[in-house]
Amino acid sequence: MADEEVSEDIQEKIPKKKKSKKLLIIIIVVILLIVIIVGVFFIFFTGSSSKKSKQGNTNSVSHLHKIPSSNQNSIGVGNTVSLAKVGVLFPLDTFIVNLVSSNHQRYLKTQMSLELSNKDLAAELKAKEAVVRNRVIGVLSSKTYQQISTIAGKNKLAQEIANAINPMLSDGSIEGVFFTEFVVQ
């Protein structure tokens, strides 16, 4: 009997655990959702970075607009050029301009670097940066979506940008225009 009284006392001290099936189901669903979200995040962010790292290891530049000169061929979007042949680059800040449109508003956000004929030209461009940006904005904002949506249109745009800047330069010339960002909405 004493053993029965001790076991009853122990059972009274230990609370009875009631397992709620609803609580268990909710916990499982939350854990599954977290796993799915982490999986999707992993796929999207590591998948795109692995593509970038594969492209980054090549020794060429894509989406390049180079101004033709007498001793070289025109290089456009989709073509590649050896990095050894690219001259000194002068990066410009981002441009955001409205495009010409009759029925709905479109804008262009672009960033570019200018290939210089020599490294001394960078100082002149820095000193005349406001004028350079003004001329580039003038060229960009005069375009329609149809004019810049094709590869040929982007090549022509690069040529027009160089033609707008070159007459004001005295220490050299713009040899190429590299679009590093080009978004039209």
- 46 and 7 in a common domain: yes
- 112 and 27 in a common domain: no
* pTM of structure: 0.59
- 91-130 CB burial, b ≥16 within 10 A, e <16: ebeebebebeeeeeebebebbbbbbbbeeebbebbeebee
Segment 25-53 shows an average pLDDT of 75
| Band of pLDDT at residue 179, cut at 50, 70 and 90 | very high
The pLDDT score that the predictor gives to residue 86 is: 86
- 33 and 79 in a common domain: no
CATH code assigned at 113: 3.30.479.30
User: 39: domain range?
Assistant: 2-56
Residues 67 and 162 sit within 8 Å (Cβ to Cβ)? yes
Compute the distance between CA of residue 70 and CA of residue 86 in angstroms, rounded to an integer.
Answer: 16
Secondary structure of residue 44 in the 3-state scheme = helix
- 112 and 65 in a common domain: yes
The pLDDT score that the predictor gives to residue 19 is: 56
- 13 and 77 in a common domain: no
**Category of 63 on φ-ψ map: left (φ > 0), alpha (ψ -120 to 50) or beta:** left
Best mean pLDDT range from 3-7, 21-25, 62-66, 79-83: 21-25
Q: What is the DSSP letter of 19?
A: P
- 83 and 11 in a common domain: no
pLDDT at 4 over 80: no
